A and B are shown apart, each in its own frame.
Chain A
Amino acid sequence: MLGGPELNPTAIQVLQVLTIVVFAPLVSGVIAHIEARLQGRRGPRVLQPYYDLAKLFRKETLVPEDAGWVFVLGPVVAFVCYLTVPMLIPVLTAYPLPLGYMGDILGGGFILALAGFSVALAAAETDAPYAQLGSSRAMTFGALIEPSILFITFTVALVTATDLPYFEAAAARASLGDVLRPAHLLAALAFFLVVLNDTGRIPVETHASTLELGMIDEARTLEHSGPLLALLRWGAAMKQLVLYVILINVFAAPWGLAGTRSAGAVLVAIPIFLGKAVGVGTLFAVIDNSFSKLRLFKITEFMAAAFLLAVLAVLVLFLGGG
């Protein structure tokens, strides 16, 4: 056990949120760098996202003529949502922190959905066709992926008898059988596909594309500028990191979290977590480079695959041994 003074749980909770807020652009930058290397380019500096954000915050805000207050409020609401979710999930600690139980997996899902909804609404406020296209597509595919998320939640509930992310992670840590059990593996795989979809990765979307016709998530921010765009970009990076947290610390590798409240343990957990996040990000970058994007109308096949995995997880649990 690492030493150091005992930290106040509230302080650790604040640290969790700060970890996400501060390091999200860094993780995005590192992944973008690795991705460029995989493609044989030198790539941007890893700190580039911070420079971008700083630049955007300095610029003026342009609001389209017909857009109302929703256009301005949308990005802010989304950002606040992304600030809330890290409190509910095990970012740094293996034990729950204050306010950690104020929402379960469904609660976290709702808050993330609210964020997506407000961004889509803000985009729909404008008269710009691509922004509206993006928001309608994002909501459509969001609705299609929703059943998979529900069945993943059921799986967690059947495995742990709760619907709290901390417990699923604890169950996986507790025994080897729980990691190897097909329900766990299937749910993890299904969630992996959900993350692929929600972070706008291939095969659903080409995240670095400038081609508007193929865009889904990216198209929504086309009309925003200045600090609002900065908030949206930052929020997107945080959302990505939050989803990585759930994937890593709940399903795939819930090891290396702080077990005690000592400052040493908690502080060491930060680089370990960042390392795992970059690892997952690298995996996504490799997938990005190895597969091609699905045609828009074929994306339902991808959704069907995620749904299949999630439902199978519940079905094998029904059989009693999954």
Chain B
Amino acid sequence: MHGATLVATAVPSPYAATADALAVLVLLSEFGMLRAPLSRSQVRLYSFQSLVVTGLAAFVAADRHIPGLYAIAGISLVLKVVVIPAIVLRLLRDARVELVPSHRLGVASMVLLALVAAAFGIFVIGSMSVRSRSLPAPALGLAAAAILVSFLLVILRSDVVSQAIGFFSLENGVSVASLVVAAGLPLIVEVAFFFDLLVAVVVFGVLMRVHHERTRTLSTTVLDRLRG
């Protein structure tokens, strides 16, 4: 009998292990947003996720001596941890909506479906050989998984806040990916990305407000007029 012998996986360095654990935290908060019943807790989770991404950027900057990343971490801290959540929370306060029943599926089924999506992302990225000087490769797979789960967040939740948060957190997933494979991206390009995100946030905010004023709800189930 020649069975395959099970070999213990290599032990990552403390640096790699911490970085991966942070990336896992990004993915887990994505799952949290997917299932969170309250819009407000979704926004808080997004803020937390952004904080983790910011921390990851600062961590890479410190460990790999990429000073430009400090600037990015700073912008990210202001924009994604503070400003964006504040904008959305303000909208929620003005709308005076506490709970939007918007789960299209049961929570357990949603989580299992998202798990399948995450596994798909991890396997696709895992099948490629990525070498990175800034972060361990597994973080890229986790980022891809977070991106796919953010898609499910947009698809499976039918309220404007979930969908907007889904888009913002998609950007967080891409940020993690860019920390892995594109930590050296020129600063001007990164700043352009942030500016763009800010513009998108403003437009999302305007449209969310318009939607609420028009329909008196944050749910998107009323958006079914256009077909064919």
Whether A and B touch (Cβ < 8 Å) is answered with: yes
Interface residue stretch chosen among A115-123, A261-269, A299-307: A299-307
Residues of B within 8 A of A301 (CB): 35, 107-108, 111
Q: Write out the residue numbers on chain A whose beta carbons fall within 8 Å of the beta carbon of B24.
A: 182, 185-186, 312, 316
Q: Select A321's contact among B14, B111, B136, beta carbons within 8 Å.
A: B136
Taking each of B8, B123, B125, which has the highest tally of chain A beta carbons within 10 Å of its own beta carbon?
B8
Q: Which of B60-68, B114-122, B166-174, B211-219 contacts A (4 or more CB under 8 A)?
A: B114-122
Evaluate contact between B21 and A181: CB separation under 8 angstroms: yes
Q: Is B12 a contact partner of A318 (Cβ separation < 8 A)?
A: no
Contact at A319–B141, with CB atoms within 8 Å?
yes
Determine the residue in chain A with the shortest Cβ distance to B119: A315
CA of A14 to CA of B12, assembled, Å: 37
Shortest B129–chain A CB gap in Å is 10
Residues of chain A within 8 A of B23, CB atoms compared: 182
The reply on B20 being an interface residue by CB < 8 A is yes
> When the two chains form their complex, are residues B115 and A160 in contact, meaning their CB atoms are under 8 A apart?
no
In the complex the two chains form, what is the Cα distance from A281 to B104 in whole Å?
38
Smallest beta-carbon distance A315→chain B, Å: 5
Q: Closest A-chain residue to B110, C-beta based? A: A304
Assess whether A311 is in contact with B137, with CB atoms less than 8 Å apart.
no
Residues from chain A with a CB closer than 8 A to the CB of B112 are 304, 307
CB distance from B98 to the nearest CB of A (A): 17
B18 within 8 A of A: yes
Number of A-B residue pairs, CB cutoff 8 Å, is: 113
- Least Cβ distance of A262 to chain B in Å? 30
B7 contacts the other chain (CB 8 A): yes
Cβ-defined partner of B9 (8 Å) among A159, A162, A176, A186: A159
How far apart sit A174 and B138, CA to CA, in the bound complex (Å)? 22
Contact with A along B1-34 (1 / 0, CB 8 A): 0000111111111101110110110011001000
Contacts A308-B31, A308-B111 known; 12 new A-B pairs at CB < 8 A: A158-B6, A161-B5, A161-B6, A181-B12, A301-B108, A301-B111, A308-B115, A312-B24, A312-B28, A315-B145, A316-B122, A321-B12
List the interface of chain B (C-beta within 8 A of A): 5-14, 16-18, 20-21, 23-24, 27-28, 31, 35, 106-108, 111-112, 115, 118-119, 122-123, 125-126, 136-138, 141-142, 145
Q: What are 17 sample pairs from A and B whose C-beta atoms fall under 8 A apart? A: A158-B6, A159-B8, A159-B9, A174-B11, A176-B17, A177-B12, A177-B17, A182-B20, A182-B24, A186-B24, A307-B111, A307-B112, A308-B115, A315-B145, A316-B24, A319-B138, A321-B12
